[in-house]
Structure 1
Amino acid sequence: MAQEAASAFDIPAGPLSTALNRLAAQSGLHIGFESSVVEGTTTAGLKGQYSAEDALGNLLTGTGLTYRFTNPKTVTVSAAAASDSTNNLSSGSSTELEPIVVNGGSGGVIQSNGYVGTSSATGAKTDTPFVETPQSVSSVTEKQLQDRNPQNLLDAISYTPGARVNAYGTDPRFDSFFVRGFNVTNTGVFRDNLRQPASGYGIFITEPYGLEGVSILRGPSSALYGATGAGGLYNVITKRPTEEAQHEVQFQLGTDQRYQSQFDFSGPVNDTDPFYYRLTGLGRVGDTEYDSVSDDRTYIAPAFTWKPDEDTRLTVLGEYSRSKSGGNPAYYNDTYGHVSEFEAGDTAFNAMDHQQARIGWEFEHSFDEVFTFRQNARYSWQDIDAKYVYAYNGAQHALDSSLVDRGSGNEQQRLDAFVIDNQLEAQFSTGPIDHVVLGGVDFTWSKYRLLAGYGSVDPLNTLVPNYGNYIATPDLTSRTDQRQVQTGIYLQDQLRYDAWTLTVGGRYDWVSTKTDNTDLTTSVKSSSEQDEGQFSGRVGLTYETEFGFVPYASLSTAFSPNIGYNSTTDAPFKSTTSTQEEVGVKYFLPDTNVMLSASVFNIDQRNGLFYTVIDGINTQVQRGKLRSQGVELEAVASLDNGLSFAASYTYTDLRILEGTAGTVDNFVSSVPFNMASLWAHYQLPEGTPLYGFGVGAGARFIGTSYGDDKNSIVNGSRVLFDASLSYDFAAVDQKYEGLSLQVNATNVFNRRDTTCTSGYCYLDPGRTVIGTLKYTW
């Protein structure tokens, strides 16, 4: 870091986390650190004239912590490895120390303090403070995951702005959700800053226990990432090896006969070599509210890091998991807009076996203080075997209203994908302007196969339900094969001048798609090919005022080629495009660990994918043009008194500008006009009678929306409550250190309202209670 002029600092002695936040406010630096690293650490404070770097060095004196500047205004504080002990700060002099685990632009890893994320590489593919990112950003940190113990990705993001979850009721097959009104299930869930191609049932399942956080970038983001949707990008971050040894085992018992055990081991392979490992796994058997749908899972995720020096690092990340659930978790709609008590599926023929695996790597090498090369890559595959029964009102129902027509489906799907992203970053100055320039080339290859057959089933007798009778497996009668190759080149410059940061980026993508459809009964084959090219861009400006208030404005676009086949048009899906204008403000409160943000946005989207029920089958189709306008507010904090909270409010107006007859100028179904949430957690301090207890409570308000695009059904508003209670047994006696018990409950009062989406209606998920006994060492 270049030498800078001294400034006056006045930071009192006390908790190191508070001191670092005060230093950030007084110096203009963005200081990232994990709360677990500084927990329980104090500092003697400082007062006088220092450079920002000297002030940081003095605050860390004697703490055994190190720091590293990742750009002129961003610094990471972390624990020192034993081998670096000779470089630890032990006097008042300022020493630039070597870092330990620094993730730079790899994976989008979040730098955070408790609930408050401070920086990540998701917003710009370089480690950039959230306040300098000219788009709306949020994070679900590791501490939030620990306190709320989410059982799926929807639980994890349910307290973030703009996220509409559970629009399809209880469905353990997928993590389907909307952001700013747009479905991001297929295009918006990334892993470790790499795209996860999806099609049909081939949607990669996210196991929250395998995550260390979720980094969120709302709005179109193709300028760097290529194929993304209008709603934004949700980057799930895989647990990585740590340099400090840590071990954890957990046992869980929950609602619907849910039994789960899990473990997480990490640390150095030995005391001498620069090799680190992590192994995370779980096993679960469980039921759901549906008699015909289970929720079983096996998950194992090994990870390995080789770090020969401070300039080079290679991390390998892997996973294999197998999930067993039902092919059709839904209730029969006896009339339009009404959910009956009868399951649409059948215990005799309702199973989905979903296997998935991935293996990839993140390589990073810094040549000098200017140039850094990164390569992130991953190969993944999914195998899905789905058998299901669906119910609808047809000819049998017309003759006898007590009978419900039924059909069956047999689908076998396979999705293979390889993604690789090569990046070169350069940090330099031209006169008074600091630059972080990033250029890259990425490549995505995917191959999708669908074998399908459909049959008829005896009607359901609602007077004497006839579930469980033998149902024949339909023969496979059709085959679809699709191959897609996407290549993109991108360039971005983050220019910093005084308090201004200008971000300018552009990308061009070439996409080639070939689709073959074969009638297996006649062997007749038809083929189609589609070649596309598209430019995407982003320009954004931020200004950081002297008191930390950071207004911003940006324009961004997105382009997303779609894998899959549109059965309603008998043609491949068209690419989805979108454009966003956004203005907002971010504010890191001085001398606190509180982040506030607000944004106003306008998004236009063409050819977006969504699901609708056609003749009882959940079918993926496309709309013409949509426009989403809205406001988002967020406040996140972790305070020194043990209180942490995450609060949000969202207003969304999503209209159909071009669509089918009777829907133009209407509101898109299942998009609430208003949503709000508040989660708070309080850890009782030492010295109080209830020391050792932690208590959490949350409320999620979901406002009114329409249940179909014709706006003939109204979904009422509702408030759902969540809670948690934990106890650390070390408060009784230190010999129990590491042993804790935690209970989490969602929808505490078991409110089961109806939610209709695209004209089909579901019941909100009911109350779940999960008890967890954990031991760490």
Structure 2
Amino acid sequence: MSPPRLARTLAVALLSGSCLTAAGLPAAWAQNTGAQNTGAQGTGAQDTVVLDTVTVEGGGGTATPGEGEGSGLETDGYVAKAARVGTKTDTPLQKVPQSISVVSSRQLEDRKVQTLSEALTYTPGVRVGAFGFDPRFDSFSIRGFDVVYNGVYRDGLRELTGNFSIFKTEPYGLQGIAVLKGPSSVLYGGGSPGGIVNLTSKRPTDAPFREIETQVGNNGRVQAQFDASGPLAGNDNVLYRITGLARDADTDLRSVPDDRTFIAPALTLRSDDRNTHLTILGEYADITTGGNATYFSRNGRPSNLESSDPAFGDFDQQQGRVGYEFEHRFDETLTIRQNLRYAHIDADVKYTSIGAISADGLTASRSTGRIVDDLDSIAVDNQAELKFDTGAVAHTLLGGLDYNHVDVDDKIGLGFAPDLNLVTLNYGQQFIASPALDFVDTTTRQSQTGVYLQDQLEYERFVLTLGGRYDWLSQSAFNTLAVTTSEQDDHKFSGRAGLSYLFDNGLAPYVSYSTSFAPVIGNSFSGAAFSPSEGEQEEIGVKYAPSDVNLSVNAALFRITQTNVLASDPNYINFQIQRGEVESRGFELEATTSLAAGLDLTAAYTYLDLEITEGDNAGNTPSGIPAHQFSLWGGYTVQSGAADGLGLGAGLRYLGTSWGDDTNTFRNDSRILIDASLSYDFGKANAKLEGVSAQINAKNFFDKRADSCQGGFCYRDEGRNVIGSLRYRF
């Protein structure tokens, strides 16, 4: 168990019997207790997404800009054509023997996505909302396995995390999102067996592009944003882009604001022959939300009593990153790349929590907590790609060496707050002192070095993908309070083999086997270091992308097994052994299309059979993950007549029942959530208003606020969220 996670466990153990209830803990603490989250934080490698292509957006709405230099995604409206996330090479998705889902820029715009979690709500295999409404973190799992701490990548490089120092994603700064399903350590190193989520930043575009937009919404939401790109000073080899926004907003909870300032500059330099290019990407964000987004629980369910207090409840985070992507093509045979990024996070989390209600029901006793994280990380990925033929077989050979390092200072303090008056509900009216940061004071350093080799062999209609990788990982932790140091080293091989067959009609059946691992930090009672947790997947599927219709249909049948999962030691209390195992079996179906007639559509279905096969709660189903999920989003833009430019959109999200705890004693109810949108392009009515458009989006239109329980802790879904926007694009 890593020191940050150990700190959370110690805090939960101490406070559950004294000043905090489980429901009052920050959700990030509870998120790591479920069976599907076992296998401690890993140190992953990197994916690279550099693809020299320009997207032509389909459908009938206002045109969006091209993907930009080296965006790594090729989409046509909602339909994905290519993404480097699966192979780190320029490979069409039809040839990749693994399931990949893409959320395009068109989808992000149509749904006015506000968080990364929200962006993934219509993606098959992804579970969003297990912890209810919580704007502090983007929490989700893929195929039943948590990926928050070790499965989120930005422009091909892993976003390294600490305890509460987790990068917050601003969707307005994204060009698209690619989700690679299943174990992916062959290219990315240690990580979740569920897969990875790769975020593609907006890049400079060849064509000039500018937009400004204002937004207003419920809960006092006000936002302004801008995006501008194109050649700099008329030089076609120097391209710029700058994206930014400012938001002031409240939420359903009085102690949880949603304020943000964000700025992301980018610059591309390239040679006249386009064989060499360098793209510099940066970001700075100042974000304020709440330190506790829960309600006090009674009888195992959330009440209407907010647990936190605005007098001591802000979660302030400043984050920044700067890096570059470099590529040089020597000729049609050899290409080299290097991607590098430095990132920093300052997180200051303050929260109160209700522990108990007095016997007379007039007051509530409360505690306080403060968590201060300081994180610095660096990640670099070096690649060489070689294309050649051996007889009738064409090869795309990729070799790489990557490295990443993260340094986290984690401090935690615990204290008490004045009682809350339950008659007057005097939230924010009493002074609440900050506790001293003397409960935990730990400095953790993790580093990973990996070498990998992959060959994509094409013979007639067959595409065989073979890859192997070896990683060396190390971690050290210094406990300032106890003046102790711990160290652990791991090394592991991982691989993938897959075969696809390409039919003329666009069908591409495939079969693949892939593995993953995640370092498990800690020791057994005997003092032996834990071995890495291991994952393996068998997947068989089919992809359909006809050449004459802008349509993509993908189906996949899979089985994932994760071993070496930590479980309780039956002989020594408070110690763990590696006897746990979790199996995930399921089926996914996804269809997307964007037609010139103005129709955009994405539909997804997921069936997931999760089981804890060994260890604690063996034979049970991990909590919070439904067996059935279905989603459908469609949009139509009128193409002619009096209503030309009018757009209508609607979405449905169904989540089946799930278990509320890992002992499988109670269930979460199924639910259906409805989303909707209405837009109008004023340029269709008056040429002088070209580029002006308005849009209204409603998420959870019928304001259904259901409870969600995971690991025995319960949360509540966000209520109806309405956003109106006015945009001028020129």
Normalising by the residue count of structure 2, what TM-score does the alignment of the two structures yield? 0.87
Q: How does 1:109-508 map to 2 (within 5 A)?
A: 109-272=72-235, 274-309=237-272, 310-336=274-300, 338-393=301-356, 403-468=363-428, 469-477=430-438, 478-508=440-470
Amino acid at match of 2:297: N
CA distance in 1, matches of 2:343, 2:565: 25
Amino acid at match of 1:130: L
Kept after mapping to 2: 8 A contact 1:298/1:322: yes
SS in 2 for 1:144: helix
Query: Residue in 2 aligned with 1:715?
Result: 668
Q: How does 1:506-585 map to 2 (within 5 A)?
A: 506-519=468-481, 524-561=482-519, 575-585=532-542
Shift of 1:575: 4.3
Shift of 1:148: 1.0
Shift of 1:339: 0.9
Shift of 1:101: 5.9
Query: Residue in 1 aligned with 2:560?
Result: 603
Amino acid at match of 2:93: F
Consecutive unaligned residues in structure 1, runs of 5 or more: 1-29, 41-77, 80-99, 611-620
CA distance in 1, matches of 2:621, 2:541: 25
Kept after mapping to 1: 8 A contact 2:312/2:350: yes
Q: How does 1:19-168 map to 2 (within 5 A)?
A: 34-36=55-57, 103=70, 109-168=72-131
CA distance in 2, matches of 1:139, 1:36: 14
Larger Rg: 1
Amino acid at match of 2:707: T
CA distance in 2, matches of 1:408, 1:608: 33
Kept after mapping to 2: 8 A contact 1:275/1:306: yes
Structure 2 CA distance for partners of 1:568 and 1:324, relative to 1, 3 Å? farther
Shift of 1:315: 0.1
CA distance in 1, matches of 2:341, 2:424: 51
Amino acid at match of 1:117: A
2:599 is aligned with 1:638: no
Shift of 1:432: 0.5
SS in 2 for 1:348: helix
User: What whole-Å deviation, never above 9, does each CA across 1:598-646 have from its counterpart, x for those lacking one?
Assistant: 1011111246699xxxxxxxxxx99932111110000010112111100
Q: Which 4+ residue blocks in structure 1 deviate beyond 6 angstroms?
A: 37-40, 565-574
Query: Residue in 1 aligned with 2:5?
Result: none
CA distance in 1, matches of 2:353, 2:661: 20
CA distance in 2, matches of 1:711, 1:593: 44
Structure 2 CA distance for partners of 1:466 and 1:327, relative to 1, 3 Å? same
Structure 2 CA distance for partners of 1:241 and 1:510, relative to 1, 3 Å? same
Consecutive unaligned residues in structure 2, runs of 5 or more: 1-50, 568-576
Kept after mapping to 2: 8 A contact 1:299/1:320: yes
User: 624, 630, 633: which is aligned to 2:580?
Assistant: 624
Higher relative contact order, structure no. (Cα contacts within 8 Å, ≥ 6 residues apart): 2
Kept after mapping to 2: 8 A contact 1:32/1:118: no
CA distance in 2, matches of 1:330, 1:37: 41
Structure 2 CA distance for partners of 1:354 and 1:193, relative to 1, 3 Å? same
Structure 2 CA distance for partners of 1:701 and 1:566, relative to 1, 3 Å? farther
User: What whole-Å deviation, never above 9, does each CA across 1:344-388 have from its counterpart, x for those lacking one?
Assistant: 111211111011000000000001110000001100010001111
Shift of 1:167: 1.4
Amino acid at match of 1:533: H
Shift of 1:408: 1.0
SS in 2 for 1:339: strand
Query: Residue in 2 aligned with 1:586?
Result: 543
2:618 is aligned with 1:654: no
SS in 1 for 2:480: strand
Shift of 1:577: 2.6
Shift of 1:746: 0.5
User: What whole-Å deviation, never above 9, does each CA across 1:464-505 have from its counterpart, x for those lacking one?
Assistant: 534332222111113111111110000000000011000000
Shift of 1:391: 2.5
User: What whole-Å deviation, never above 9, does each CA across 1:409-444 have from its counterpart, x for those lacking one?
Assistant: 111101111000000001111111010000000000
Amino acid at match of 1:367: F
SS in 2 for 1:342: strand
SS in 2 for 1:128: coil
SS in 1 for 2:539: strand
CA distance in 1, matches of 2:446, 2:168: 21
User: What whole-Å deviation, never above 9, does each CA across 1:126-156 have from its counterpart, x for those lacking one?
Assistant: 0111111101111011111111110111111
CA distance in 2, matches of 1:515, 1:271: 52
Structure 2 CA distance for partners of 1:349 and 1:149, relative to 1, 3 Å? same
Amino acid at match of 1:284: R
Query: Residue in 2 aligned with 1:685?
Result: 639
Query: Residue in 2 aligned with 1:669?
Result: 623
SS in 2 for 1:666: coil
CA distance in 2, matches of 1:708, 1:189: 26
Kept after mapping to 2: 8 A contact 1:333/1:392: no
User: What whole-Å deviation, never above 9, does each CA across 1:289-335 have from its counterpart, x for those lacking one?
Assistant: 11111000010000000012310000000000011011101111112
CA distance in 2, matches of 1:418, 1:227: 16
CA distance in 2, matches of 1:571, 1:744: 55
User: What whole-Å deviation, never above 9, does each CA across 1:159-193 have from its counterpart, x for those lacking one?
Assistant: 11011112112111110111111111111111111
Structure 2 CA distance for partners of 1:452 and 1:682, relative to 1, 3 Å? same
SS in 1 for 2:108: helix
For the aligned residue pairs, the C-alpha RMSD in angstroms reads 2.6
Query: Residue in 2 aligned with 1:55?
Result: none
CA distance in 1, matches of 2:525, 2:427: 31
CA distance in 2, matches of 1:670, 1:236: 25
Query: Residue in 1 aligned with 2:727?
Result: 774
CA distance in 1, matches of 2:538, 2:420: 51
CA distance in 1, matches of 2:97, 2:247: 41
Q: Percent identity?
A: 46
User: What whole-Å deviation, never above 9, does each CA across 1:436-463 have from its counterpart, x for those lacking one?
Assistant: 0000000001101111111123444544
Structure 2 CA distance for partners of 1:31 and 1:327, relative to 1, 3 Å? closer
CA distance in 2, matches of 1:547, 1:732: 41
Aligned pairs, how many?
A: 665
SS in 2 for 1:377: strand
Kept after mapping to 2: 8 A contact 1:669/1:706: yes
Normalising by the residue count of structure 1, what TM-score does the alignment of the two structures yield? 0.82
Kept after mapping to 2: 8 A contact 1:31/1:118: no
Amino acid at match of 1:733: N
